[in-house]
Amino acid sequence: MFIGLILFVIVVLIPFSGLSSKGRIVLATAALMACWWMTEALPIPATSLIPLVAFPLMGVLNAKEAAVPYGNQNVFLFIGGFFMARAMERHRLHRRIALSIMILLGTAPRRVILGFMLATAFLSMWISNTATTMIMVPIAIAVMVNMDKKGTPFATALFLGIAYSASIGGVGTLVGTPPNIVFSGQMQSIFPNGPQITFAGWLPVGLSLIIVFLPLAWVYLTFFAFKMEKKTSLSPELLRSELAAMGRMSYGEKVVFIVFIAMALGWIFRTDLKLGFVTIPGWSDLLGIEKYVQDSTVAIIGAIVLFAFPLKGGGRVLEWREAVKIPWGIVLLFGGGFALAVAFGSSGLSLWIGNLLADLGGLPPIVLVLIIAAVMTTLTEFTSNTAVTTLMMPILAGASGGMGTDPRLLMVPATLAASCAFMLPVATPPNAIVFGSGQIKIKEMARVGLAMNLMSAIIVTAITYLVAVHVFGITPGELPLWAK
């Protein structure tokens, strides 16, 4: 704790050339928060409240300006997504989806692992990767016991496959993992006149990474990292009996499923959807309210329906006693990051960082993207990917101005790479959960994860250049007017 405070004082007192006193205060606050986030000297959510105190007391932002970012619409988008996840968990819809996917793919060892990875990735697109992994691990243990594969390469590959696909799958949608929301919210905070990162806008980028990375991860795990037997002793009836034990879909499950589909469609078709030469008009455009509604509107409508819809046996589809269990700490972390982003801009710190890093603009953009991906992957091995993304977004936004390039060219790969830490148990909750199952040795996770990290840096760079550049209309080496 004292290291962070000492760091704060040192940064405030250093007379950085060209940086205002407000800029020094914001930089010192960012250094303090980074230190406490990484060391967890205070709980991460508690550290996220610092801007509410530091900025008004030191004359950077008034109390209202510091508090507004905590109510950013992206915060409510994530809250709505969390409520949907709680409803899924309460009615066990997620388990039915997972078992159904695995039954479809068969019982050969490689197919079993593929089934688990596909089911995990799909669920992780919509509910937290922590919850997804906790759902899949007990099913994996039952399969492993049935096949008598405890302690075998198959078991290690299976559990690593679950952890890795949970992280990869979360990238797919804006609500799948916190770094995606951080990127969307900070783009809005730093560049209020710039293009918004919507659910539908992010989907092609996130899905592209899943489509490329998930099969490669499966191939690597089952053909190269571990030797798989060709035959299996897994009875297909095991998974079918697990599904049969759940019975027919309950009334609550059906309601949650319908609301889930409606929310997904509402997000995808909120704004105009361009499919080649055809453009499908968004429902908000057709209703003339495109300037008033956001993805968070859809999320909260879905949540209200879940709270309002009665169950046949009494109660509601989602009760508040269940909803209140969502991770509110992440909500505060979002708010703290968004407040930090606003202060970076208003104090001139972003511009100062941009000028400081202007020389890096001489590097080929693709090399710059690769470096960012590699650095983010490394950083997130040791600390919260949400905290790292929160800190890096305003820094990269400022750097883009000095380099004369579109900020999204730097921010997109950083966001994607933040979910690609595969080496250590502390890197992500899925890694920690599968390591805690006792089925994986840390040296195996590090060995396999190193190759996954290297692959991820290359894949993130490729997706940025081959997909994100076209989806977002990015011109490498050109600074848009809205970013000046």
Sign of CA dihedral 87, 252, 125, 105: positive
Q: Is pLDDT of 56 > 90?
A: yes
Q: Can you give the pLDDT at residue 316? A: 95
Written as six digits, the tokens of 474 are 């990015």
Q: Can you give the pLDDT at residue 334? A: 85
Could you give the CA distance from residue 241 to residue 275 in angstroms, rounded to a whole number? 42
Range with the largest mean pLDDT of 5-9, 144-148, 380-384: 5-9
pLDDT tens for residues 413-459?
999 999 999 998 878 888 888 888 888 888 899 999 999 999 999 99
Could you give the CA distance from residue 435 to residue 346 in angstroms, rounded to a whole number? 43
Q: Can you give the pLDDT at residue 38? A: 78
Q: Is pLDDT of 239 > 90?
A: no
Q: Is pLDDT of 287 > 60?
A: yes
Written as six digits, the tokens of 26 are 């914001």
Q: Stretch 185-192: mean pLDDT, rounded?
A: 91
Q: For residue 316, what are the β-bridge partners?
A: 310
pLDDT range class, residue 147, cuts 50, 70, 90: low
Positions of E strands within 76-141? none
The DSSP output letter for 301 is H
Q: Is pLDDT of 277 > 80?
A: no
Q: Can you give the pLDDT at residue 234? A: 62
Answer whether 396's CB lies under 8 Å from 479's CB. Answer: no
pTM: 0.84
Mean pLDDT lowest among 199-208, 256-265, 358-367, 475-484: 358-367
Q: Can you give the pLDDT at residue 405? A: 92
